[in-house]
Structure 1
Amino acid sequence: MGAIATVIIGVVVLIIVLILLLQVVGRLLRKVGPNQALIVYGAGGTKVITGGSHFVIPLYQRAQDFSLELMSFDVAPSQNLYTTQGIAVNVEAVTQIKVRSDEQSIKTAAEQFLSKPQSDREALIRLVMEGHLRGIVGQLTVEDLVKDPESVNGKMLKTVTPDMEKMGLEVISFTIKDVRDRNDYIVNMGRPEAVENTKRADISAAIAARDTQIQQANAAREAAVAKSAADQERVRAETESLAQQAEAQRNLSLKKAAFDAEIKRQQATADKAYDIQSNVSQQQVIAEAIKVTEVEKNAQIKVQQAEIQRRELELQATVQKAAEAERRRVETVAEAERQRLILEAQGQADAAKARGLGDAEANRARGLAEAEVVRARGLAEAEVIRAKGEAEADAMKVKAAAFHEYNQAAVLDKLLTGMPEMVRAIAEPLSKVDKVTIVSTGNGSGPNNGGIGANRLTGDIVNMVAQVPALFELLSGTRIGDLMNNVPSLASQDGQNGQNGQNGADNANGNGHKAVAAINGKLNTIESTPPEN
């Protein structure tokens, strides 16, 4: 236990010794910042340490901190400063001074201020600055101090710098803050300029007022000119407007007169067009009648052709079928003969070929066989043509006999039966009209006018239908009354033939009236528009 206690005590003593040693070393190791300098003097001479540390040997060396920070203070001499004009002025300035950064300057400054406090340093430097400022002010005028302070600053820096360098210092800046005097010299110095400025201001105001009045007058004149021009433009525009109105009225009157003339011309054209259209309609009626006659003839031809076809069918059933059978028999025989000859020719050709004469003999035999076939086919076709010709001749005979049996009664029956169809064909074009517009003068009281509007149109259609019998007689060259006189059943009725013909015409007219009624039923709109006077 005693040994352990001895060890512990020894360790504690060692720790205490180390702590004391560290404290001693800490005291001997001096450190300074960048804004300070450590002045070490003693054994080894004077040393300057800036922004670092240095171990000071006890008893042999001593160390002291020296501030390198910027010093800023006012330079305001309490006594008046006199200018070259003899005027007493008070000048207030501010300056910034610091110790130079080189080691020699720091040593020089330390020689001057190391043992002095900061206030004593500033007081000493201020005295030097005030002395130089007094000398510079004595070389200048008040105007120079007031109007050109930069020159004062430059001269001050130039004058003070050598003295400051001797103390290890440098002047960073020197600036005059204020210049005053007790006699109001500086204030009065600005009065002439103030008066001049006032005068210039008054002159400028007067000139501005004059320019304003001139501009107002010019503006008023321009406004009057513009108003006059506007009035002239308005009068001119009103005049042009009245002229345009008069011209428009004249054009309206001319156009109205032209329209009235055009209306009258169109009315006259419409009247002429109606007459022309009536003539065209009559021509169309005649053309349709001719077409009806052609249709009737075509119908008769179709009946006769049907009879001929029936006869042809009978002939085909008897003669042509026999001829066709004979033709097929002949063709079959000819084909068999051709095949036989071909086989014989081929056989002979093969035999001849075997004997060395195949080519020539085979060609001759084949030519003979083909010639025989052609002859047989020609005979068969000739037989068929002959049979067909005989059948057509018989059909023509039957047709001639049928035409011979047609007497005048049959012709009259065909005529009377087809007359309604003829009237229908006449009315058919008009039945397809959707709308009819009639322009009439209203003068329809005469015996030949047939009324106005739809009445005149209906009368014209009836007149066209009534002309159908006369049209038939004109085209055929045969009177309907003569046909009826030649009919045996009507021959005993003397004196009635003309009446019967008239009845046929009346029937045609009746059919015509029915057709007109049908047309009137199909017309959507019939407008009768009398022309304006």
Structure 2
Amino acid sequence: MTGLFYLIGAIVVIAIVIMSVLKFVATNYIKVAPNEAKVFYGRKYINEKGEKIGFKVVTGGARFKIPIIESVGSLSLNVFTLALNIKKAPNINGVPVNLKGVANVKISSKEGRLMLACERFLHKPQEEIESTAYQNLEGHLRGIAGRMTIEQLIGDKTMLNQAALDEASQELNKLGFDIETVVIQEVSDDSEYIDQLGKKKTAEVKRDAEIGKAEAERETTIKTKKKLDIQQANFTAEVSKQQAISAQAGPLSTAEAMKAVVTAEQETAKTKVEKQTEVAVAEAKRKEQQLIAEVIKPAEAAKIAAELVANQNKQVKITEADGEQQQIQKLAEAAKQKAKLEGEGQGAADQARMEGEAAGIKAKKLAEAEGDKAIGLAQAAVIEAKLLAEAKGIEKKAEAYAKLDESGRLLQILEALQTLVPATVKEFAGVMEAAAKPLGNVDNISIVDFGSGNATGKFGGTVPGMIAELFAKANVSGFDLSGLAKKLGIDPSKFLGKAGLGDTPTA
């Protein structure tokens, strides 16, 4: 029984010891939150530079505190907001201004600044820490206001906030603070200087607005008047235009009627010339067909007949030559057999055979030569017939040309020039052919006058009139037909005089 009590007592003692150890460890194992800094002090510590210092700062972690030897203090790293209310801070012009705003400040977590804050604010209440930051920040803001005008203070808040942040940060960093933001919310003064300045600006804006409105109205009036003037001028111009059109209506109608008459006359003359041209072309085609039927076709038939006869003669000659060759060969064979029988030898037989073959070839060649000669004579006869037909046609043309007067010969010359000056003479080619070819087939002309007395004059002026019109159009195109006619020995003034035009001026 006694042993049991001893066992229970030992267990209790061990449990008490364990609990005491756990409590000791829990009490001295210091845990540090991310938003605070724990300062261990009581003995010498070696920093990262190898220097001995009297405290050690731990942020965001844990460390075991040696009982009795070490102690622990805390600093909050939370941001605290300072409400700025600075009264009567004189600006660069001596005008006292009031500044209201907010600043977000905290004890820096950077090692160097945190060491400075530990030396200055460890174990101090939070109110005293915030007061120190406020007073330093207020002093810097007063200094900044003293370097700026009222217009700068109220006109560019961004520049004011940045200047306060840059200047105050340098000094507060030395105390271990970090300034997150500085925002100046209001700038005012007790002497109503800013209000008067605003009224002045407002008056200037109103004045500029009134001036702008007046200028806009004036420009609108000017533009409206200008638009009305333009419309009035357009109306006047339109009325004048219509009056001019009305005044020209009569002469224009007369001119259009005359133009229609002239156009109809020209179309009639053109149709007449076209019909005459068609008749002349048909006559020429008829003569051409007649020449082919009467001369060329018989000549070609004679040529074919002559060729057939020549070929037949050639075949007869060849057949006769072949018969003679075979007869000679037979005689040669007979001579060969005879020689063989008579014992004259193989040489005499071969010689007789070769002589027979040569005689046959000679006879064949003579027959072929006779046939080719006959074909050549037939072809020559056809060519002679064609040349005689062409010569006869040329003789007829020469006779027709001799019957033409100077105007007709000039038309023939101009017709030959069509290939050289197609742009000028092309449209008159049919007229030239129609005027010249029919006259070449006329022996005499009978003129009947129905009482007007000028039938002969009208007929005599037909061709000269067409030539005169051709000369005029050629001169407009830049081609001097008068000079060309004179060089060819033709005096154009004779037929131009008949047309009543005289000498045609050169272009």
Higher-Rg member (1/2): 1
Q: Given the two structures, how large is their TM-score scaled by the length of structure 1?
A: 0.45
Q: Given the two structures, how large is their TM-score scaled by the length of structure 2?
A: 0.46
Query: Larger relative contact order (C-alpha < 8 A, sep ≥ 6)?
Result: 1
